[in-house]
A and B are shown apart, each in its own frame.
Chain A
Amino acid sequence: MNRKKYKQLRAVVILFVFAIVGLAVVHNSYLLSISGVLTGMVFMALVRSTTKIRVDEREATVREKAAQLTYAIFAPTLGIGAFLLLLPSSGVSSVFAKGEFMYLESLGMVFAYLTLFLIAMYAISYHFLNRKYGGGGNEE
C-alpha cells in the first residue's frame, strides 16, 4: 500500500467514525460512539502495523514545530489561567471566593495541576529523548 492509498483509507475511516459518532449523538448512545471510535482506532492501528508507511521527514519536522508551538502557547496559558482563578481565593478579593463562584477555585486547582503535569511530561520526555540521541554522555 502506498502513501496515497493509505491517505484515502484514512479519510474513509475518519468519515466512518464521524458518521457513527453522529448517529450515536442522534440516538443518544454512548456505547455506539465509543465502539465506533475504538473500531476506527483499532482498524488504523492494524493497517499501520501490516504496511510500512514511512513518515515523511518534512512532515515530521512540521509535527515537531507544531508540537513545540502548542506547548509554548498552551503551558503559559494554562498556568496564567490557574493563577488568575486561584488569585481571588487567596484573599485578594472575597467576592469570587464564595457562593456560585466557589467552583472557580476548583477549576484553578485543576488548571494548576494540569500545568505541572504538562511541564513534568515535557521534562521527562526531554530527558529520555536527550539521552536517546546522544546527549548527556561523557564519551570522548
Chain B
Amino acid sequence: MRNEQSSLLRNRLRVHRAMHDLTQEQLADKIGVSRQTVIAIESSKYLPSLGLAFKIAKLFKVKIEDIFSYEGGTNEN
C-alpha cells in the first residue's frame, strides 16, 4: 500500500497523539480502527480515507491540514 502518494504525504499524527497523551491502542479505539492501522498511518505506509482523516482531525480539534500535509506539486490530469 506504500505508493508514490503516501511518500508525498506527511503526517503529524504521532505528535498530536503524544500531545493528547494517548496510546496507539486508545487512539485506535476512539477512531474505530485497529492499532495496526494507527501504526501504518503514523509510519506513512497507509493513507487514511477522507472520512478517517476528518475523524482524526475532529478528535484532536484541529484542521486536517494540521495533521496531514501534501508535499508534492500540483498534478493536472
Contacts and interface: CB of A to CB of B under 8 A. Distances in A.
User: Which of A3, A54, A58 has the most chain B CB within a 10 Å cutoff?
Assistant: A58
By secondary structure, the A interface counts as helix
A58 B37 contact: yes
A62 to B, nearest CB: 8
Report, as a range, how many residues of chain B touch the other chain.
10 to 19
Contact of B1 (A2, A56, A65): A65
By secondary structure, the B interface counts as loop
Contacts of B1: 58, 61-62, 65
Contacts of B40: 58
Contacts of B49: 57
Report, as a range, how many residues of chain A touch the other chain.
10 to 19
Contacts of A100: none
Contacts of A139: none
Given A2-B29, A57-B33, A59-B34, 11 more contacts: A56-B33, A56-B34, A56-B37, A57-B37, A57-B48, A57-B52, A58-B1, A58-B33, A58-B34, A58-B46, A62-B1
Interface of A: 2-3, 54, 56-59, 61-62, 65
24 contacts: A2-B29, A3-B34, A54-B32, A56-B33, A56-B34, A56-B36, A56-B37, A57-B33, A57-B37, A57-B48, A57-B49, A57-B52, A58-B33, A58-B34, A58-B36, A58-B37, A58-B40, A58-B46, A59-B34, A59-B37, A61-B1, A61-B46, A62-B1, A65-B1
